Structure 1
Amino acid sequence: MTQDSRPTEPSLTERRTARRAVKVATLKREQSKARRNRAIAITIAWSGAAAIVLMVILVVTTNGTSTNLKPGADVNGVQLFANQTSTHVAGTVKYTPLPPVGGDHSAALLNCGVYSEAVSNENAVHSLEHGAAWVTYDDAVVTGDQLSTLQKGIPATYAVLSPFPGLSSPIVVSAWGAQLNLSAPDDSRLAAFMAKYRNASSAPEPGAPCSGGIDGPGKVT
């Protein structure tokens, strides 16, 4: 009697076991892929967050504001001038004090930047209204290396630097309702003043554009 050499077909139980094994293997592959995708997404998210933090640090550093300064910290020697009016007017305005720290002003904004010549008070006060700080200096005293040092301490935005005739000290930095006299450009209070009063809520329109207006004479940057 000849024995049948054909392979025996798997039983129903064996087929079910095989199908179950395939499903389990497929599920494990899908779960492993999902874990990898989640890990990649988390890595990308953390990388993006780190990049944003780095950009903020770079912007703050570039703008010349020390990250060690607290915006609300008092600045020794600052004079405050409350109740400044802010009406747009035509013609010349008589300001007290000088340089101005606010008041009625021209409807034309002075573009923020560095100027080698004196600029219009009425236009500069409009910049103060938008949160700019105005650094003025005696160009007979602050020259050469001192002027270069002063320029390096000026933020890239929301700041105006210009000479001003008849100053009571070599450097006077002003913002809306606040003013500080300095004798040297490397005085640490310059950065402290910027941190506290530049683009501060004490200005009528902080954060409004500091460009798109007019350039004064001697615009450098």
Structure 2
Amino acid sequence: MSPQKQSGNPARQAQIEQTVKQQRDAKRQEKLAEYQRQLKKRQRGKLLWWVVGIVAVLAVVAIVVASIVFAPKSYTPGSEGATIEGVETYELASDHVEGAVEYEQNPPAGGPHNSAWLSCGIYDQPQPIENAVHSLEHGAVWITYDPAQVTGADLEALRDLAPRTYSIVSPYEGLDTPITVTAWEHQLKVDAVDDPRIPQFIEEYWQGGTSPELGASCTGIEGPGKL
């Protein structure tokens, strides 16, 4: 720092000293203001990261809860010989054929079918019957519903009942009940999605029962309207 100029005039010298003091005070105030600005900036940054962290944790928790609440119901493969009221049982052929087939059941619970099987999954359109029957042969369950009677929350609840794999859910024209659940050579017809026999039927016949090709792939041709 250059030496402070001295004045022979006491009044002038006092004025010079006052000016220097004011300049020093102003610089100190400026430094203090800058420090406070930087401090507030760091505090805002920390707060932002806290908010981001909390939001991220809540998002993970929400995903976990949703995966539990909305996950498809779990079932155990295989049959235990349970007796379920209303289940119809048949003895049916399993030939591979070409073209359309006239089935005795509606929807069919087995019988001659196309050599190509339908990919399992949820569909919002009716599916080619002969291909869906082949999926039954592989141990899948086929949940069909009247689209005029099963809609909205009931339809979502019905879809939620389907196993994660080896299941087909699709609308079906001409049902005589709102919902029909079918496995190879076994079938259950019910009036409401909350009928406890639906999960009972799936538990008994999904990946079990009398399926001739149990455990074969359920990834085949894709029908229309797969979700």
TM range (shorter): 0.5 to 0.7
The answer for the alignment partner of 1:109 in structure 2 is 117
Q: Distance in 2 between matches of 1:145 and 1:122?
A: 29
The answer for the alignment partner of 2:88 in structure 1 is 79
Q: Distance in 2 between matches of 1:81 and 1:119?
A: 22
What code does the residue aligned with 2:83 have?
D
The share of aligned pairs that are identical, in percent, is 47
- Greater Rg by CA: 2
Q: Does 1:129 align with 2:137?
A: yes
Q: Distance in 1 between matches of 2:214 and 2:195?
A: 25
Q: Which consecutive aligned stretches of 4+ in structure 1 deviate over 6 angstroms post-superposition?
A: none
Q: Distance in 1 between matches of 2:80 and 2:142?
A: 18
Give the 3-state SS of the residue equivalent to 1:185 in structure 2. Answer: coil
Q: Does 1:205 align with 2:213?
A: yes
Contact 2:74 2:164 in 1 (8 A): no
- Length-normalised TM-score, structure 1: 0.68
Give the 3-state SS of the residue equivalent to 1:180 in structure 2. Answer: strand
The answer for the alignment partner of 1:40 in structure 2 is none
Q: Distance in 2 between matches of 1:63 and 1:156?
A: 6
The answer for the alignment partner of 1:41 in structure 2 is none
What code does the residue aligned with 2:88 have?
Q
Q: Give the CA deviation at 1:72.
A: 2.6
The answer for the alignment partner of 1:97 in structure 2 is 105
Q: Give the CA deviation at 1:198.
A: 1.2
Matched pairs, number: 157
Give the 3-state SS of the residue equivalent to 2:116 in structure 1. Answer: coil
Contact 1:71 1:195 in 2 (8 A): no
Q: Distance in 2 between matches of 1:184 and 1:201?
A: 24
Q: 71-80 or 155-164, which moves further after superposition? A: 71-80
Give the 3-state SS of the residue equivalent to 1:94 in structure 2. Answer: coil
Deviation readout 1:126-157 (Å, 9 max, x if unpaired): 00000000000000000001001101111111
Q: Distance in 2 between matches of 1:65 and 1:108?
A: 27
Q: Give the CA deviation at 1:117.
A: 0.3
Given the alignment, which residue of 183, 201, 204 partners 1:175? 183
Q: Give the CA deviation at 1:71.
A: 3.5
The answer for the alignment partner of 1:218 in structure 2 is 225
Q: Distance in 1 between matches of 2:166 and 2:203?
A: 12
- Length-normalised TM-score, structure 2: 0.66
Give the 3-state SS of the residue equivalent to 1:218 in structure 2. Answer: coil
Contact 1:131 1:205 in 2 (8 A): yes
The answer for the alignment partner of 1:43 in structure 2 is none
Q: Identify if the C-alpha distance between structure 1 residues 88 and 66 changes in structure 2 by more than 3 Å, giving closer, same or farther.
A: closer
What code does the residue aligned with 1:99 have?
P
The answer for the alignment partner of 1:157 in structure 2 is 165
- Show structure 1 runs of 5+ residues with no match: 1-61
Contact 1:65 1:194 in 2 (8 A): no
What code does the residue aligned with 1:95 have?
Y
Give the 3-state SS of the residue equivalent to 1:76 in structure 2. Answer: coil
